[in-house]
Amino acid sequence: MAGQLIVGLDVSTRARAEEIVSLLGDAVDFYKIGYQCFYGADGYGLGKALLAAGKKVFFDLKLLDIDNTVEKGVAAIAETGATMLTVHAYPKTMRAAAKAATGSGLCVLGVTVLTSMDDEDVRQAGYERDAAGLVALRAQQARDAGIGGVVASPHEAEMVRAIVGPGMAVVTPGIRPAGAEKGDQKRVMGPAEALAAGASHLVVARPIIEAADPAAAARAILAEMDGKRVSFA
């Protein structure tokens, strides 16, 4: 169960990130490094150190550029031994990323629609679909591009799982355990419900890293997850 929980190291210093990892100890073995940590806390170096310590690393960089640049960037991340990397779920971008990751252990994830966005936000961005419709389109395109999985709201996890089948990762942020505040997230769900809906991995940051006892918070989330386990190779 611990392997399905990914803790987001959304902090601005490497010292704080390392402190969180130390506090979590063996309770967590999978960490997400996003913009804040990557740029503000030597996240690249931290990620390599975590990998050397036997942890799994998810670089949440949401790559989007011309095909050649994406391909070279994905290849560079693949060489680190990282487990996951995000790209924007545009067909050309995903195809370039899939090509670069071939033969490596890197699972490329296409980001569908951010969990901080709802139907009105999607319309304001110029899409003639609601959030669920855009997620469905991008899940189909991710499957066809041959990447390893997608990032989607837990509210779309069941739909996405039906589209991509059992072999792809469905990674869901927007996870809020019992009693946690939603913050700036709009499409959230509890841990057990997200797994039951088809998620393979859950990303949790603030409810763990801002807790007085991060290890206890992580164990509580793992206990909530315990009612449903999903296999993902």
Q: DSSP labels for the chain?
A: -GGGEEEE---S-HHHHHHHHHHHGGG--EEEE-HHHHHHTTHHHHHHHHHHTT-EEEEEEEE-S-HHHHHHHHHHHHHHT-SEEEEE--HHHHHHHHHHHTTSS-EEEEE-S-TT--HHHHHHTT-SS-HHHHHHHHHHHHHHHT-SEEE--GGGHHHHHHHH-TTSEEEE--B--TT---TT-SS-B-HHHHHHHT-SEEEE-HHHHTSSSHHHHHHHHHHHHTT------
Is 32 annotated to bind a ligand? Reply is yes
Mean pLDDT of the chain: 92
Is 114 annotated to bind a ligand? Reply is no
pLDDT in tens, 78-107: 999 999 999 999 999 999 999 999 999 999
| Residue of 29, 42, 48, 65 marked active site | 65
* Residue 197 covered by a domain: yes
Whether 120 shows a pLDDT value over 70: the answer reads yes
pLDDT band at 227 (very low <50, low <70, confident <90, very high): low
* Residue 30 covered by a domain: no
**Domains contained in the chain, number:** 1
Is 185 annotated to bind a ligand? Reply is yes
**Annotation says 65 is catalytic:** yes
pTM assigned to the model: 0.92
**Annotation says 62 is catalytic:** yes
* Residue 222 covered by a domain: no
* Residue 228 covered by a domain: no
* Residue 37 covered by a domain: no
Is 62 annotated to bind a ligand? Reply is yes
| 144 or 225, greater pLDDT | 144
* Residue 103 covered by a domain: yes
* Residue 104 covered by a domain: yes
Least confident of 52-56, 160-164, 178-182, 210-214: 178-182
| 1 or 210, greater pLDDT | 210
* Residue 214 covered by a domain: no
Structural domain boundaries, residue 127: 59-205
CATH number of the domain where residue 127 is located: 3.20.20.70
